[in-house]
């Protein structure tokens, strides 16, 4: 497995893969891998001849009061895990390599970013869209892989790729969870044992809404209330938002009619966690790639 610290190095790798007529899958990450990241890498390996994983904690997508400096990092551990998963190359650039002095161009995706995490984290999706646009331009993959754990992010990236005619297919992969239902996240290491136990309430609350919707409940306010009530049973957990919005445009809705995203963000102590599920009144399992 090749490790590239510069744009020139990864471009040379990509050139050689292309010369042999092979396809490339890109998995953008901020590192500190868990099973969620590995599932994206496996999908990339299955769908493409060569899998490239980028590891870059992107300062542009963190607010001034957020955890950019504390964000967990362990390149040696990540390197081993990627190698064991069959990744062909890691792109691991420095901040200076990605944002040299004078960098001043940003990608702004409208609409979709004006709700949910876009409200609580101003500038976050601008930072995400900008870095992903750069990574797509650097690696020029056939397919790029994103987790549904960050559903709004996946929708924003898909919109950017369509709006800017980027020649890449965006593939989304379902949320990977711990055995007790907590969505895997690099930030879960911030939780102390009591907070970790309290965090189970997130998945429980999503399941309550899933069951109610499956049982015929269509009223969005009532579904949201049921989720909030369940979360409120855990005093350590503070709700930032609980919202149900239409897919794929994230418009507000009052009744479930087509596929909708139930998304939530909470704080547990100093840790901010997000989770989501798709509610589909038609009942069938939604293929994420058709969202």
Angle at 74 between CA 64 and CA 124, to 5 degrees: 25
Q: Is residue 148 a contact partner of residue 288, using CB atoms and an 8 Å limit?
A: yes
Site for ligand AMP (CB under 6 A): which residue of 183, 213, 242, 265? Answer: 183
d(CA 137, CA 174): 25
Site for ligand AMP (CB under 6 A): which residue of 10, 24, 29, 271? Answer: 29
261 membership: H or E segment, kind and range: strand 260-268
Nearest residue (CB) to ligand AMP, 30 versus 202: 30
DSSP class of residue 166 equals -
> Tokens representing 116?
């949910």
**Which residue number has the CB closest to ligand AMP?**
147
Give the x/- contact pattern for ligand AMP in 135-164, rule: CB under 6 A: -----------xx-xx--------------
Site for ligand AMP (CB under 6 A): which residue of 185, 205, 271, 277? Answer: 185
Q: Read off φ and ψ for residue 2, nearest 5 degrees.
A: -90, 140
Nearest residue (CB) to ligand AMP, 139 versus 184: 184
Angle at 107 between CA 104 and CA 113, to 5 degrees: 135
Question: How far is the CA of 120 from the CAs of 70, 186, 201, in angstroms?
Answer: 19, 20, 21
Residues in 186-205 at the binding interface with ligand AMP, rule: CB under 6 A: 186
> Tokens representing 66?
């957020």
Active-site annotation holds for 106: no
How many positions of this chain bind ligand AMP (CB under 6 A)? Answer: 17
Which residue is catalytic, options 34, 37, 124, 290? 37
Nearest residue (CB) to ligand AMP, 256 versus 276: 276
- Per CB under 6 A, 130 contacts ligand AMP: no
d(CA 78, CA 203): 27
* Residue tagged 């990574």 (tokens): 135
- Per CB under 6 A, 40 contacts ligand AMP: yes
d(CA 111, CA 120): 15
Query: CA 181: distance to chain centroid?
Result: 17
- Per CB under 6 A, 36 contacts ligand AMP: yes
- Per CB under 6 A, 173 contacts ligand AMP: yes
- Per CB under 6 A, 30 contacts ligand AMP: yes
- Per CB under 6 A, 118 contacts ligand AMP: no
Residue 82: strand, helix, or coil: helix
Nearest residue (CB) to ligand AMP, 63 versus 252: 63
d(CA 188, CA 290): 30
65-73, 116-124, 182-190, 207-215 -> range binding ligand AMP (CB under 6 A): 182-190
Work out how close the CB of 288 gets to ligand AMP at its nearest, in angstroms, rounded to a whole number.
11
Q: Is residue 224 a contact partner of residue 276, using CB atoms and an 8 Å limit?
A: no
Nearest residue (CB) to ligand AMP, 93 versus 147: 147
- Summarize as ranges the residues that interact with ligand AMP (CB under 6 A): 29-30, 36-37, 39-40, 146-147, 149-150, 173, 175-176, 183-186
The residues carrying an active-site annotation are 37
């Amino acid at each position: 497995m090749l490790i590239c610290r510069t744009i020139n190095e990864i471009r040379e790798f990509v050139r050689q893969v292309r010369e042999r007529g092979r396809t490339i899958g890109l998995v953008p990450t901020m590192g500190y891998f868990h099973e969620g990241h590995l599932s994206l890498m496996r999908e990339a390996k299955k769908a493409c001849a060569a899998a490239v994983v980028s590891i870059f904690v992107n300062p542009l997508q963190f607010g001034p009061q957020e955890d950019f400096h504390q964000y967990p990092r362990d390149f040696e551990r990540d390197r081993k895990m990627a190698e064991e998963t069959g990744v062909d190359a890691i792109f691991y650039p420095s901040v200076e390599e990605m944002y040299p002095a004078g960098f001043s161009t940003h990608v702004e995706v409208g609409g979709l970013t004006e709700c949910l995490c876009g409200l609580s984290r101003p500038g976050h999706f601008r930072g995400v869209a900008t870095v992903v646009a750069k990574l797509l331009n650097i690696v020029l993959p056939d397919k790029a892989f994103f987790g549904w754990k960050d559903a709004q992010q996946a929708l924003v990236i898909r919109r950017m790729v369509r709006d800017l005619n980027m020649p890449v297919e965006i593939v989304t992969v379902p949320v990977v969870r711990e055995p007790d239902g907590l969505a895997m996240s690099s930030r879960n290491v911030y939780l102390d044992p009591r907070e970790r136990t309290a965090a189970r309430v997130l998945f429980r609350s999503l399941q309550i809404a899933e069951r109610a919707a499956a049982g015929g409940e269509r009223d969005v306010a009532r579904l949201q209330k049921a989720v909030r009530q369940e979360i409120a049973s855990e005093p350590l957990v503070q709700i930032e938002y609980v919202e149900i919005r239409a897919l794929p445009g994230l418009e507000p809705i009052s009744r479930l009619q087509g596929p909708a995203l139930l998304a939530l963000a909470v704080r547990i102590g100093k840790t901010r966690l997000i989770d989501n599920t798709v509610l589909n009144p038609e009942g069938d399992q939604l293929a994420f790639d058709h969202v």
